[in-house]
Amino acid sequence: MANKQGIINLDTASRADVERKISAMRAGGKILGNLLRDLKAYVKPGMTGKQIDAWVRAEIVKRGAGVAYDMLEEEFPGAICISVNDALVHGAPTDEPLEEGDKVSFDLDIYYQGYFTDSAFTMVVGQKASPAVKKMISVTESSMWEGIAQVKPGAHIGDIGHAVEQVLRKGHLGVIENYIGHGIGKSMHEFPEVPNYGKKGHGYVLVEGDTICIEPMSCLGKPANYIDKDSNWTVRMKDGSIGCHCEHTILVTHDGYEVLTQPD
C-alpha cells in the first residue's frame, strides 16, 4: 500500500503492491517515452500547437493510455503542454504556426493502469537553431542527467537539486526556482517536492520503490516569470528571454535508479 503521501515504502508495503506499481509505471513510461520520441520527429515548421495537440491526443489513445491532463481539477485546454520561445512551462496549445528556429518545449503526462508518468523535452523547430539556444538545451539536459545520477536509496532530495543547480550555473543559465519536480504515482503530483536547487545531505531521503520526476528548468535571461492571463496557464519569462524544460520519471531501485520514460 501507499502511505498518505503516495510513496510506497518497502518496509510496510507488500512486494506484490510494489511490483504492481513498478510494472504499471514501467509500461506507461515506455509508452510515454516512445510517444515523445515520435513527436520530436513529427514536429515541423508551419504546424500549429493545436494541430500537434490533436496528434498527441490521438496517439495517447491509440497506444492504450489515458489523457492525464483531462483529469485535472482545473481544465487544461489540451492533451500536452507546448511552450514556445519565451514560454517556459504549461503552455496552452494555440493556433499560431511554429516557425523555423522557434524553441519549443513539450511536457506530457499520461495515465496507464492506474498510474501516471511524466516527461518533457525541449527542441528547436527546423534546422536554424540559435547557438545560445542549442547550448541552453544541451546544458539543461546535462543538468537533468547529473541530477538523475544522484538517485539511489539513502540519497537526499538536496543531493539531486544541488547537482542540477551546479550544472545550470556553470552553464551561465538562469535557474528557475518556483517550478520544481515532484513525486508521482497514483496521483500526477505527489510528495516529495524535487527542486532544481538544494544542499547536499538535506531533504527527504529516497527509498527503494519511490518514483520521482526530475525536471530542470532554465532560461537565457533572468529567472523571473509570470502566468499569461490570456490562457491562465502559460508561464512566460518576464524579460522575454527563452525558457527551457526537460524531465524524466525515475524509479529508485535497490542499488540506484531506472529511467522509466526512456524510449526504446
Whole-number mean pLDDT of the chain?
Answer: 94
Q: What is the DSSP string of 42-111?
A: H--TT-BHHHHHHHHHHHHHHTT-EEGGGG-SSPPSSSSEEEETTEEE-PPP-SPBP-TT-EEEEEEEEE
Opening angle at CA 143, ends 221 and 263, nearest 5: 115
Rounded to the nearest 5°, which phi and psi values hold at 150?
Answer: -80, -10
140 within a domain of the structure (yes/no): yes
pLDDT for 17: 83
> Hey, what's the cell of 242?
527563452
Q: What is the pLDDT of residues 48-68, one digit of tens each?
A: 999 999 999 999 999 999 999
The total of structural domains in the chain comes to 1
Please name which of 123, 131, 136, 141 lies closest in space to residue 44, comparing C-alpha atoms: 123
The kind and range of the H/E element at 35 are: helix 15-42
Report pLDDT for 8. Answer: 45
The answer to whether residue 5 sits within a structural domain is no
pLDDT at residue 101 greater than cutoff 60: yes
For residue 4, pLDDT beyond 90: no
Q: Are 233 and 76 in contact (CB under 8 A)?
A: yes
Residue with cell 526530475: 214
State yes or no: pLDDT of 240 exceeds 70: yes
Determine contact, residues 46/125, Cβ cutoff 8 Å.
no
pLDDT above 90: residue 186: yes
β-pair type (181-183, 243-245): unpaired
CATH number for the domain spanning 39: value is 3.90.230.10
Query: Would you say residue 4 lies in a domain?
Result: no
Which pLDDT does position 109 carry in this prediction? 98
Tell me, what's the pLDDT at 149?
98
Flag whether 90 is in a domain: yes
Query: pTM, whole model, 2 decimals?
Result: 0.93
The pLDDT tens digits of the residues spanning 20-44 come to 999 999 999 999 999 999 999 999 9
Q: Does residue 134 belong to any structural domain of this protein?
A: yes
Is 117 a domain residue? yes
Domain of residue 186: give its range: 15-259
pLDDT (tens digit per residue) in 109-163: 999 999 999 999 999 999 888 999 999 999 999 999 999 999 999 999 999 999 9
6 is a domain residue: no
Average pLDDT over residues 246-260: 97
Asked, for residue 104, whether it belongs to a domain, the answer is yes
Provide mean pLDDT across the span 201-206: 98
